[in-house]
Amino acid sequence: MNQEQTYLLGEQAVVLDLNCARLDDAQQNRLFALHRHLQQLKVGSDIVVGKTSITLVLKNPAHCSTWQERLLTLWEELSATDFQPTTHTIPVIYGKQAGPDLLPLAAQLDLSPQDIVELHSSPIYQVKFLGFLPGFAYLGTVPQQLQVARLDSPRTQVPAGSVAIAEDLSAIYPSGSPGGWRLLGHSSTRLFDAQAQSPCLLQPGDNVKFVPQKEGLC
C-alpha cells in the first residue's frame, strides 16, 4: 500500500509524494500520465517528475491549497494506459575509445565484452526523469547482472555522447562534463540543443532502445 500525500514546498510549489522506495511499471506510467496531463492544463510554470514524486510549481501561488487536493484526485483518476510513450532508437558504438570502461567491466564481472554489449542493448529503457545537466536523462532499468557502482574517482571530463551506466541506471551525456559513470560506448545522436525549437530529444517517460553499430563491438 502506498501512502501517497501532497505537501507544499515553499509558497508556490505543490508536491505529490508517493512515499515508497520505488515505483512499479504501472505506477511509473501513471506518474508520466499525470505529468502530461498537468502540462496540458498550463497551470504550472514548471512541472518536475522525481523518482517517486511530481512537483508542480504553480503560476498562481493562491491556488496552492486547491492543488494539494486536486493532485491526489488526479492521481486516483489516471491510469497507466493514459500514457503512450514515444520510442527513440539510439545507435551506439560500443568499446575501445568510445567506451573505455567496457573491457575492465567485462573482466570485473567475468563476462565477455560481447555479453556486456548484449546485456546493455537488450532492454527497452524508459526516461525516469532528467537532471544533472540539460537533457541528461536517467534511463531505467539496467539488467541486474550489469548493475555496478560508480567509479571510485569520477573523471574530470566525460565526452558528450558517452553512453554510460551506474547502478540500475543508464544515461547518455548530452554535453561534456565531469562524471563518475562507467563509459560503455558513444552515440552521435544530438540530445540537447538550446537554440532548437524543441531543445530536448528525450522527454520524461519516453522509451530508448540502444542499437550496437558495427564500427564498435556488437
Partner 1 sequence: MLEIIKPGVQMCIQDLGRFGYRHLGVTQSGVLDPMAMKIANTLLGNPLDTAVLEITVGLSQLRFHQPTNFAVTGGDLNARLDDCALTPGWRYFAKSGQVLRFASSPSALRAYVSVEGGFNLHPVMGSDSTDLQAGFGGIEGKALSAADQLSYKACEEKQSVGALQPPYQSHIRVLPGPHCKHLNHSTEQLLCSQQWQVSADSNRMGMRLNTSAPISHQVAINSQAVLPGTIQLPPNGAPIVLLNDCQTTGGYPMIAQVISADLRHFAQLAAGVQVSFSLATQVLAHQETQKQQHHLNQLRIALTHRDRSFS
**Sites of contact with partner 1 (CB under 8 A):** 7-13, 15, 17, 21-22, 35, 45-53, 55, 57, 61, 64, 129-136, 175, 192, 194-195, 199-200, 203-204
**β-bridge partners, 177:** 158
10 Å Cβ neighbour count for 73? 9
- Beta-carbon contacts of 93 under 8 Å, excluding residues fewer than 6 positions away, are 99, 185, 186, 187, 212, 213, 215, 216
Q: Are strands 169-172 and 137-140 parallel, antiparallel or unpaired?
A: antiparallel
Among residues 94 and 125, whose Cβ is nearest to partner 1? 125
Question: Least distance in Å: CB of 212 to partner 1?
Answer: 26
Q: Quote the least distance from Cβ 88 to partner 1, whole Å.
A: 14
Min separation Cβ 63 and partner 1, Å: 13
Q: How far is the CB of 102 from partner 1 (least distance, A)?
A: 26
CA 79 – CA 155 distance, rounded (Å): 41
Task: Say which residue the cell 567485462 belongs to.
Answer: 106
Q: Cell 540530445 maps to which residue?
A: 191
Omega cis (within 30) before 141:
yes
**Nearest approach, Cβ of 20 to partner 1 (angstroms)?**
8
Extract long-range pairs of 8-13: CB within 8 Å, 24+ residues apart: 8/64, 8/68, 9/55, 11/61, 11/64, 12/57, 12/58, 12/61, 12/64, 13/55, 13/56, 13/57, 13/58
Considering beta carbons, is residue 23 or 102 the nearer one to partner 1?
23
| Nearer to partner 1 among residue 6 and residue 187 (C-beta) | 6
Spatial distance between the Cα atoms of 72 and 67, rounded to a whole number of angstroms: 8
Please report how close the Cβ of residue 46 comes to partner 1 at its closest, in angstroms: 4
